[in-house]
Structure 1
Amino acid sequence: MKHIYLSFSFLFLFTISSFAQLMPPAELQSYYSGVNFNNTGMDLFDDLATKTISKHTNFLSYGEAREVLKIIDLMPSSSSHVLLIYGFSNDTCTTNSSNDNDHRTRDKDDFGGGATCEWNREHTYPKSLGNPNLGTSGPGSDVHHLRASDVQRNGSRGSKRFSSGSGISGDSNGGWYPGDEWKGDVARMMMYMYLRYGNRCLPVNVGNGSINNIDSNMIQLFLDWNAEDPVSPYETVRNNYLGNASNFNAQGNRNPFIDNPYLATLIWGGTASQNTWGDTPVDTEAPTNPTDLVASNSTDNSIDLNWTASTDNIGVSTYDIYIDNNYAFSSNNTSTTASGLSANTNYCFTIKAKDASGNTSGFSNEACELTTDNGTIGEGSDCLAETFENLDTSIGSYQDVSWTGDDGGSWSATKARTDQTISDAAITIDVRGNNGGSLTLPTVSGGIGSLTLTTQRKYSGSTGDLDLYVNGDLIAGIPFGTDPITTTISNINIEGNITVVISGEDGGRVAIDDLSYTCYSPLSLEEFNLDTIKLHPNPVESNLTIDLKSNVNTNIEIFDILGKRVYKNIINKTSNINLQTLKTGIYIVKISQNNSTITKKLVKQ
């Protein structure tokens, strides 16, 4: 949390001086005795968990926790107002609130559960997301993750997972953003709950984001927040109070990530956070080389890649994927798909690992694979396939929902919920009456040949049809009923950039699952004479020559490896194209004449 300055005369606030790296200050050396700070990764996590958990000697009741919050959540300049995590939900509460540098507060005695201007205990780790439910004792009454919160603001947050965002708190990216000033506090509280209660309080259950390479139970989001929002004096005062067994109803244990946020970096890697026990060490050790790279499951335009993770003294942050010795893209995981490739082309892949300090490993082994050649006349291979497995399936009320799809595209839905299933995860839209809900698919450039999906009506209602729109035009109806219905709409046959929307006003709440559609191009490879067109030099540094050997108007398009068009022009004779501004990498050149087309791979040096 940022910009909060405290003057509690009755609480002990120590000053952290410069000590040797990872040597706790004198005041804390007894508490952390036995912890081996030469460890990193999960060894350090386990050491902190086993050596400091026993210091938790006073297990508070839910009622006792409320009284402790009246002490440790007091605002800096008042002994009568508590500071509210997330801020207000209603600015009309000014008669019993106070401002301190825009940090909203509430009278400490206005505790309740229903009135507009009351505060209550916020479980920053929602009880229902624990495994099992955290309840209101043990982890449910641990004050390290309980905060004073406006009643209505607490209700708005509910049990939503934490998600990325910016600015003030609120709904964001299908979850809840705690606000710029609270995100670091939240991250360190989630890390504490995981350390203290193990598999009962997993970060992946309470936050949305990519999975950490070192620990599959941690997400990168909290590591980023921990680094971006440093520990505030307010957090330190709370931590000192709860860790001092002589204070009223103190627990006797501490949050180590408040004592030193750099411990999180040592355990999980990621963005380096501040080392408050000394200077942050300069990391010069490179990760080990990735191993066992395998390329498989090729299609006309994609190849799957899998490899064994690298190891690092701090932690691997990303993997850089090279295609034919040229950098193509990066991945946070040890598996990915290279897409936007050309049919019937051999591609060779290598991988490098990189840590947060920019240290880079050597290359992995090389793995080569040939893309298939199933043709691009009419309906081709899948341009898009979605299982909805990336959804946050806890959304039980109709609202706007957005998420990243299986293929990495941006999906969105209105009047939608995610807690219903067909065979597995599904998106459910409410299409009852006018202005019904809708599902919007990512925009792609491969055209659409046919579309397949499964629908099922949920709750009561009649059978009906959803409407399929492509580029704003109504194409067809998609039936739904009591039982699951899988429908394929063939011969849509629209080329180029397309936008697909599914909506309706047909009196139902309809779940949608297993949606896919094929690419479409009406152009025939067989009609094009490859020998009549030459591209040189290839690889190219700046100027590319396209030799047509004819005067036919020819459309030239160049796409990067992810399918984004970076150049377009029409030529009718041999031409030179200046590509000096393009980044080094692999590109696809699409050349079209009349009713024919070809694609060629281009390497930019």
Structure 2
Amino acid sequence: MKHFYTILITLFTLTVSAQIPAGYYDYATGTGYTLKTQLNKIINDIDDPEISNTVEEEHNPQSYNALDNFNSTYERDYYYETNGDNTILDMYSENPTGSDPYTFTPGSDECGNYNSEGDCYNKEHVIPQSVFSSQAPMYSDAHHLIPADGRVNGFRGNFPFGRVNDSQLANQSGITNPTQNGSKLGNNLNSGYSAGYSNTVFEPIDEFKGDIARIYFYFVTRYEDQVPGWSSYPMFVNDPNKGLADPFLNILITWHQMDPVSQKEIDRNNNIFYNHQNNRNPFVDHPEYVALIWDTTPDTEAPTDPTNLVASNPTDNSIDLTWTASTDNIAVASYDIYVDGTNTFNTTGTSFTATGLTADTNYCFTVKAKDASGNESDFSNQDCETTTNNGSSGGDIDIFFSEYLEGSGSNKALEIANFTGSAVSLSVYTIKLSANGSGVWTSGFPFPNGATITNGDVYVVANGGANDCSAEYDYLNNDMTSFNGNDAIGLFKNDVLLDIIGELGNSAVYAENTILVRKPTVDRPTTTFDIVNEWDIAANCDDLGEHTQTLSLDEVDLNAFKVYPNPVNNILHIDLNSSKETQIEVYNVLGKRVISKTIHNSSTLNTEQLTDGIYILRVTQGNSTISKKLIKN
């Protein structure tokens, strides 16, 4: 029980206007770790725009030396001696029920050197400064700096606080253990509320255990984002939300409950706010916050399932996801995002962009909610989407450079061929150059409005001064054709590199006064220039304006391939009579592709993610395609 005596009138002059300012905690409306983060914003040194208190609440850190005057002025004993004795109030030497073993005169008894208890007092970091490498503002934060007997301060050292096993006290020369007021150092009592830790701890007397606990609650709240970096200190844990390791969290909560907030703490909190650094310890003002944040009752309730998952806005390598938030008895901590059944991403929000995906590939997504205790919801609904095919993969069917003419003077031209199976508008394509190995592309040069290449045809861009085979020119553009034999030339689609001549960043000459014609076996663009395997050197430009594609495909008789079982439950078997590259696609009845896979031999297809119903199975090899009805049970 706390013991208080007559308080001098001086106390009231030192804590003028000593009350919580109106509106200070208006932003603290949550529970659990949400509340803790709200408190962090209130007491932090950042003026957060979300907080609209009626007072300016920004933390105004002071210097370490400024604490000397603060201690001399405000850290005095007005509480325990009859009528108070105006000496320094030291939690490590105070005797709450009788005469103190020794006292310190403010200012004159402050020192840095000591030999025995009672020699002098100095400043004790309740959270050892070695924990945060003596960095500001922690180093001078008055909320965890208290005046203490120098010898006992050194005795405590950097040990965590805990419940000492009286049969395992630590030996210390030159000081009694317990100290003259009963504080002690020894192995933690690894049982009861202090179970879980057995190494050396320091234990203050019962009168001040709640004070220490509330200092720690303040510290892990004020510096919650930095605490994970200090987790080598036994009391802390690598979790910005929880902050405190379980054994010490149990100890501090117990101390907080057994030793309620005292008038001494209230006055000290007000003096730090009004007369020193302009922020408060919320757990002195509102002790109930401790239970609201750190509920020691195990949380076994899982969040509700996320709903309304939608996959949309695909690009070559990303898909956007949105869903409706889950609810939880405490709070949802984050969401795990599963890609084709594999836990791949994690986010705290209800929208996310899945990146690192492969072009022209179908992906199926599900989401699980997770709370801070690790409880997980069941899966959300599944939604699937297919990434686009704009050429970023460097291996998809699209238009490509089919001839390159680099002659003397302005005799320069580029030919682009279309063997995609349909007409291609050039509105989303551009040509870029990179001169002399610079490694940087120019801005994209667009084609004229309405420019189109029909299937099987070519499009020729030439320099305005060119005259070789001029009858084949479709478009004159000096910017597109201002290249030399060592410049890289890029064909871009939607600003993504599709095909290239030369090597970006390489200034070596690869084709000067030369005509290059793409080999007839090349059927698609590539982002890697291979002059040996993909290009032939031509004697003249007679082939300009046309391009021959002769694919040496050993086409399989698609009518001979086998698909079983059909209807299928989970695994579909596909037997081919060839090792040729084959594209397998599954479409739902709405025409949306839900599975896409490339195989080279007989293979299997996992259809577990598909809902029951009728689908179309499409098999493509070279220029041949066949479709079959597929039933999923």
Normalising by the residue count of structure 1, what TM-score does the alignment of the two structures yield? Answer: 0.38
Which fold has the larger relative contact order, with Cα–Cα distance below 8 Å and residues 6 or more apart in sequence? 1
Looking at secondary structure, tell me which structure has more strand per residue: 1
Normalising by the residue count of structure 2, what TM-score does the alignment of the two structures yield? Answer: 0.36
Rg larger for: 2
